[in-house]
Structure 1
């Protein structure tokens, strides 16, 4: 009887050792894929702080995706990278054009008003959370959410001068980065083109945006003429707001976190939008990063 218990103890030790070895390989080899980047982070401690390519199950088949194991967003780590663009270092995505002067940035490929889409593949990986950031520059007299008052009245049109992030067909809103006219002043009574958080508040976003937005201007005093680039001040970076302007007060700027209502595997879409020609106003994207979980 004593021998049997010794044998059991020995077998338990062997199984534990093998299980420990398996854990170290979990998500690292195609024969042992994880369920998601988050799943690998939770189950394999050796992944902590080590961003890179990991094996996960996609339609019950192993696929290697880039997992950021350092980013914490929404209180969670283990995020799958969908895109990470810095116009100073990388090309702009298909659907946008790159400029290098007076700053390196992505812009709409046409001078006409409208929304210009860039699609970012999620590789058909199911997700229920989206995390990301956008920072950019202002050109001319961008008008925040005033567009909804005068022109576009749906999510499909230029309801904002800024960047609209959505997914699915029909589009479902994730986050909006609005670009207002000026940080501080207003040259017309009840002028609607400033951000809602400005010293002289502008129009609130449409109802489908809810509270899922940031809004900021680059220009301190306005209006800014259409040909002028405001290169001295980044927009949506949470810096440079004057007194009585709360646009920089959001704790996580420029990052957002969004729990979507239903699990999806649809691509993410970012659109640069404006309701006037590029000669009057422009939205320039310096960086955009998107992750899912």
Structure 2
């Protein structure tokens, strides 16, 4: 009887060890194979510690179907890791998105396809994945006399119009604002410069709130409207004089937004300006967008 009881306990212990090992192997595969899809990149990060620090393609359920998406498991934004990549474009080596045009001189960048004033959209698919947080970054360049949030030709500032000389990031229909990247005429200040310049420029419209960055590539007024100011990129948090607070935000060039309601709509970035390209231009060197 004693031998039988000891044998039974031994068998239970062996089974427990085997189950533990198998469970551990299952955990390693969570989010990596179609038969063990995660709910989201964040879900996989939280439940599968083996994925930490390992960005790449993982499997999540979109609707009812497992799909591979790119998860960044290293990026920390808003205090969270586990972000789904929507786009990651560097004009120095990548094509520009549909709706924008690539230039290579005097610098590799994306610009509006037309010389006319207005807003020119590029759509970035979220693949129908629900999200409530958006994280991203952008680096750009100034051409000529960009006016930040001041508008010469469009005094009524609608989210659908060129309310900014810069880039407007939105989602959904009707558009809902996420973030604005603005370019002021110079770092000294005045009506057509950034609200953070030495002399405060025009404030953004109410729907923007505090969700924007603004910078200039020129210390003083550009000497020529046709001048490309490529020596000082904008939104990189560098090159601002001491009496200009446009570079003081510690997260530059990154932004983070918690949106009011969960959405699965595509993200949209529009290059906007209220005057023709002969007067001013907005160039995008790089853009990264993530959702969670």
Q: Per the shorter chain, which TM-score range?
A: over 0.9
Is 2:229 aligned against 1:260?
Answer: no
Is 2:118 aligned against 1:114?
Answer: yes
Q: Secondary structure at the match of 1:41?
A: helix
Q: Secondary structure at the match of 2:207?
A: coil
Deviation at 1:9, TM superposition (A): 3.1
Q: Secondary structure at the match of 1:173?
A: strand
Structure 2 residues without counterparts, runs of 5 or longer: none
Deviation at 1:14, TM superposition (A): 2.0
Q: 1:33 aligns with which of 31, 37, 40?
A: 37
Pick which of 259-268 and 9-18 moved more: 9-18
Deviation at 1:12, TM superposition (A): 2.4
TM-score by length of 1: 0.95
Q: Secondary structure at the match of 1:147?
A: coil
Q: Secondary structure at the match of 2:99?
A: coil
Deviation at 1:5, TM superposition (A): 4.1
**Residues 232 and 175 of structure 1: CA distance in aligned 2, closer, same or farther (over 3 Å):** same
Q: Distance in 2 between matches of 1:218 and 1:211?
A: 21
Q: Distance in 2 between matches of 1:225 and 1:47?
A: 51
Q: Secondary structure at the match of 2:85?
A: strand
Is 2:22 aligned against 1:23?
Answer: no
Q: Which residue of 1 aligns with 2:234?
A: 235
* 1:114-136 deviation per Cα after TM superposition (whole angstroms, max 9, x unaligned): 00000000010111110000110
Deviation at 1:8, TM superposition (A): 3.4
Deviation at 1:43, TM superposition (A): 1.3
Contact 1:141 1:224 in 2 (8 A): no
Q: Which residue of 2 aligns with 1:105?
A: 109
Contact 1:128 1:259 in 2 (8 A): yes
Q: Secondary structure at the match of 1:49?
A: coil
Q: Distance in 2 between matches of 1:84 and 1:28?
A: 22
Q: 1:136 aligns with which of 140, 153, 160?
A: 140
Is 2:172 aligned against 1:168?
Answer: yes
Q: 1:155 aligns with which of 146, 159, 169?
A: 159
Contact 1:131 1:291 in 2 (8 A): yes
Q: Secondary structure at the match of 1:154?
A: coil
Q: Distance in 2 between matches of 1:71 and 1:258?
A: 15
Contact 2:154 2:163 in 1 (8 A): no
The total of aligned residue pairs comes to 288
Structure 1 residues without counterparts, runs of 5 or longer: none
TM-score by length of 2: 0.95
Deviation at 1:223, TM superposition (A): 4.0
Q: Which residue of 2 aligns with 1:206?
A: 205
Contact 1:80 1:292 in 2 (8 A): yes
Q: Secondary structure at the match of 1:90?
A: coil
Q: 2:14 aligns with which of 10, 28, 38?
A: 10
Q: Which residue of 2 aligns with 1:279?
A: 278
The CA RMSD over aligned residues, in Å, is 1.4
Deviation at 1:38, TM superposition (A): 1.0
Contact 2:75 2:82 in 1 (8 A): yes
Q: Secondary structure at the match of 2:260?
A: strand
Is 2:94 aligned against 1:95?
Answer: no
Is 2:56 aligned against 1:52?
Answer: yes
Contact 1:91 1:98 in 2 (8 A): yes
**Residues 62 and 148 of structure 1: CA distance in aligned 2, closer, same or farther (over 3 Å):** farther
* 1:189-210 deviation per Cα after TM superposition (whole angstroms, max 9, x unaligned): xx31110000111011111000
Q: Which residue of 2 aligns with 1:64?
A: 68
- Specify the structure having the higher radius of gyration (Cα): 2
